């Protein structure tokens, strides 16, 4: 194993020290739960009888005893979302596989799965981020019956996986494996789809033209093929050792996909307390695991949404991760993948080029990944250098991937696309924000232009349609944060801003909201903290103020005289229309309880970053 890069070692140690109190308390709680042994046999006889009343006779007999592992399934299946539709047959497949190794499997519960692609620009998007917390709580309800020896998590997309991880770590005494479903086959290329979107925004394409393009891109069961939050989730689960090796991007409804699902069941049974390799997920996921996730995000140019999700997931395990950790690692982790929006390839091209096994292998060789972590597959990351396949007899085997099959898509750490990672932290008198630079043109790393202020994304769209934005400017879309309206993604702003940038104008976006994982060509300082409704500096901005966004030096500044800036009053906005309708009134308690974006925008745990060590 190569020597670990000193910055990776330093950041990891800093996280360990910062988390010492909270992690110690967490592990003590997990160890106490582990010490109680097989869980369902703490139940009274009536309780236990309820737990297997609907089971088959064979499963009833097995569950009455104390030596048969019971695997709980938490599923995000629904048949409206392409990414989750393939999960429909999984419970039956899992039950059958469990029986083959002398175990039982039961669906413990379901969790909601919403799609940001459907709710973009709609009221439902204001529930999106909070669905992560709902998923975590729903998973807790599912597992609260305390009848399981291990858990299998069936989830793919944006908030689903972070919610499932948060809950899994809350039940950290259980071994837990995440079981993916894979991406849909490649359809209309992302570049062609984006061009039709821009043509439609300019009035040069009809709605029917646009729908035809979108239907050609999103056309089959499986995850959308661009490298947004959903596929960033899958990358994270593999590089954090929560998937089986090479499992992330195998297509749905194929023999290999089904074989990997069966293998996940066999492995879940093997790592229960009833087996010989007990691997409680709360012990397995440690500070090194979290750092590996951050490194994978940088190396692949992953979604900015993960900066919040990883912080929230880490805190569920007593680990305090900060934006400074992301920034420090970004300086030394090279960009090794070009997948849309960072390039023209999709995740299928990435997988065929060597995918996660090659990426993990080259990071290990460069000393940029903790190789000595524990995973659901066993000790160390070496097995994750290998790609699964079926041999001539249909048996699942893994072969090491030693070279990229397409250097335009995936490169070794010795020949990166760029020497640093694709995410940056910006600081200045406008607060703290993040920016994705991996797909930005080199001449747009610094933008200085007058502010144009909006309180609704629709206002920007309308101003563009009226021809009022054909110039250099920085669009400030404020009162979009988690406390204000649930922090919706503002991906619908990408086409008009992209058109203006292509016309040669120097434009940028500054917001306390989010952008989609598929965004990135237009400079966008997002997740601005503190948010405007929380007395954040964005509330002091006025139309015409000069804003300087400098992604090279990591600054975001309003160039306003300091005395004038200090004397300015905070602007307020009437957000009442965002708090009712489409279920939004039911989420008031979450808006009132949520923490800031830089601490994970979560309702769980303490949010004050200055008291992070006590989180």
Residues in Cβ contact with 286 at an 8 Å cutoff, skipping those fewer than 6 apart: 317, 319, 373, 374
Report d(CA 354, CA 362) in Å as an integer. Answer: 11
Six-digit token pair at 228?
Answer: 């947004």
Cβ contacts of 137 within 8 Å, gap of 6 or more:
167
Task: Tell me the C-alpha distance between 585 and 578, whole Å.
Answer: 9
Q: Is 157 annotated as a binding residue?
A: yes
Pairing assessment for the beta strands 104-110 and 150-154 based on DSSP bridges: unpaired
Alpha-helical runs (H) found in 105-224: 116-119, 128-143, 160-170, 190-201, 207-217
Task: Determine how β-strand 374-375 pairs with β-strand 378-379.
Answer: antiparallel
Query: CA-CA-CA-CA torsion for 199, 202, 207, 213, nearest 10 degrees?
Result: 20
Q: Are 431 and 536 in contact (CB under 8 A)?
A: yes
Tell me if residue 368 falls in helix, strand or coil: coil
Among 412, 299, 366, 384, which Cα is nearest to 2's? 366
Distances in Å between the Cα of 336 and the Cα atoms of 307, 353, 416 are 19, 12, 5
CA 116 to CA 378: how far, in whole Å? 35
- The stretches of 366-488 forming alpha helices (DSSP H) are 457-465, 482-485
Give, as one character, the DSSP assignment of residue 404.
-
Q: How far apart are CA 325 and CA 295, in angstroms?
A: 10
CB 589 within 8 A of CB 132: no
Cα–Cα distance measured from residue 330 to residue 7, given in angstroms and rounded to the nearest whole number: 10
Tell me which residue of 316, 365, 334 sits closest to 615, measured CA to CA.
316
Measured CA to CA, the distance from residue 110 to residue 261 in angstroms comes to 18
Residue 406 to residue 417: CA distance in whole angstroms:
13
CA 169 to chain centre: 16
Integer Cα distance of 511 and 424 in angstroms: 15
Q: How far apart are the first and last CA of the chain?
A: 34
Q: Binding site: which residues?
A: 157, 224
Q: Binding site for [4Fe-4S] cluster: which residues?
A: 157, 224
């Amino acid at each position: 194993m190569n020597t670990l890069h000193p910055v990776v070692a330093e950041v990891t140690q800093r996280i360990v020290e910062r988390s010492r109190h909270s992690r110690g308390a967490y592990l003590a709680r997990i160890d106490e739960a582990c010490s109680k042994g097989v869980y369902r046999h703490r139940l009274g006889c009536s309780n236990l009888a309820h737990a297997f009343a609907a089971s088959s006779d064979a499963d009833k007999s097995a569950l009455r005893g104390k030596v048969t592992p019971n695997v709980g399934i938490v599923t995000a299946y629904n048949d409206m979302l392409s990414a989750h539709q393939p999960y429909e047959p999984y419970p039956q497949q899992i039950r059958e596989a469990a029986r083959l190794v002398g175990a039982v499997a039961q669906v413990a519960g379901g969790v909601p799965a919403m799609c940001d692609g459907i709710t973009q620009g709609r009221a439902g998007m204001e529930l999106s981020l909070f669905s992560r917390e709902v998923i975590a709580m729903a998973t807790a309800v599912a597992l609260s019956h305390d009848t399981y020896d291990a858990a299998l998590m069936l989830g793919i997309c944006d908030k689903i996986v972070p919610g499932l991880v948060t809950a899994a770590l809350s039940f950290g005494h259980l071994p837990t494996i995440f079981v993916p479903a894979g991406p849909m086959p490649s359809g209309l290329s992302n570049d062609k789809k984006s061009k039709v979107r821009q043509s439609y925004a300019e009035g040069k394409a009809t709605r029917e033209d646009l729908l035809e393009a979108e239907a050609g891109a999103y056309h089959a069961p499986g995850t959308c093929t661009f490298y947004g939050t959903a596929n960033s989730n899958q990358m994270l689960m593999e590089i954090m050792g929560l998937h089986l090796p090479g499992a992330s991007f195998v297509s749905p409804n194929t023999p290999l996909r089904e074989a990997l699902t069966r293998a996940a069941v066999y492995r879940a049974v093997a790592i229960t307390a009833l087996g010989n390799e007990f691997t409680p997920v709360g012990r397995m996921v440690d500070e090194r695991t979290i750092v590996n996730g951050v490194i994978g995000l940088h190396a692949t140019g992953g979604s900015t949404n993960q900066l919040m999700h990883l912080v929230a997931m880490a805190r569920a395990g007593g680990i305090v991760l900060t934006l400074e950790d992301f920034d420090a690692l970004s300086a030394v982790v090279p960009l090794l993948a070009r997948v849309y929006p960072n390039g023209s390839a999709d995740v299928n091209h990435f997988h065929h080029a060597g995918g996660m096994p090659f990426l993990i292998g080259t990071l290990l060789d460069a000393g940029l990944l903790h190789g000595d972590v524990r995973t659901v597959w066993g000790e160390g990351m070496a097995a994750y250098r290998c790609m699964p396949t079926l041999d001539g007899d249909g048996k699942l085997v893994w072969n090491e991937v030693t070279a990229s099959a397409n250097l335009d898509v995936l490169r070794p750490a010795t020949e990166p696309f760029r020497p640093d990672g694709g995410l940056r932290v910006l600081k200045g008198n406008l607060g703290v924000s993040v920016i994705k630079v991996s797909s930005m043109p080199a001449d747009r790393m610094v933008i200085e232009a007058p502010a144009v202020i909006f309180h609704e994304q629709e206002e920007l769209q309308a101003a563009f349609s009226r021809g009022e934005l054909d110039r250099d400017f920085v669009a400030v879309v404020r009162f979009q944060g988690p406390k204000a309206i649930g922090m919706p993604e503002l991906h619908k702003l990408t086409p008009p801003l992209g058109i203006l940038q292509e016309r040669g104008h120097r434009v940028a976006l500054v917001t306390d909201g989010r952008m989609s994982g598929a965004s990135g060509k237009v400079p966008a300082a997002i997740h601005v903290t503190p948010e405007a409704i929380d007395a954040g500096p964005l509330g002091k901005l006025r139309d015409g103020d000069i804003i300087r966004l400098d992604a090279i030096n990591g600054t975001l500044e309003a160039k306003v005289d300091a005395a004038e800036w200090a004397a300015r009053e905070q602007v307020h906005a009437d957000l009442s229309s965002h708090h009712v309708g489409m279920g939004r009134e039911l989420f008031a308690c979450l808006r009132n309880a949520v923490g800031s974006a830089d601490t994970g925008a979560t309702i769980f745990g303490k949010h004050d970053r200055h008291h992070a060590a006590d989180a």
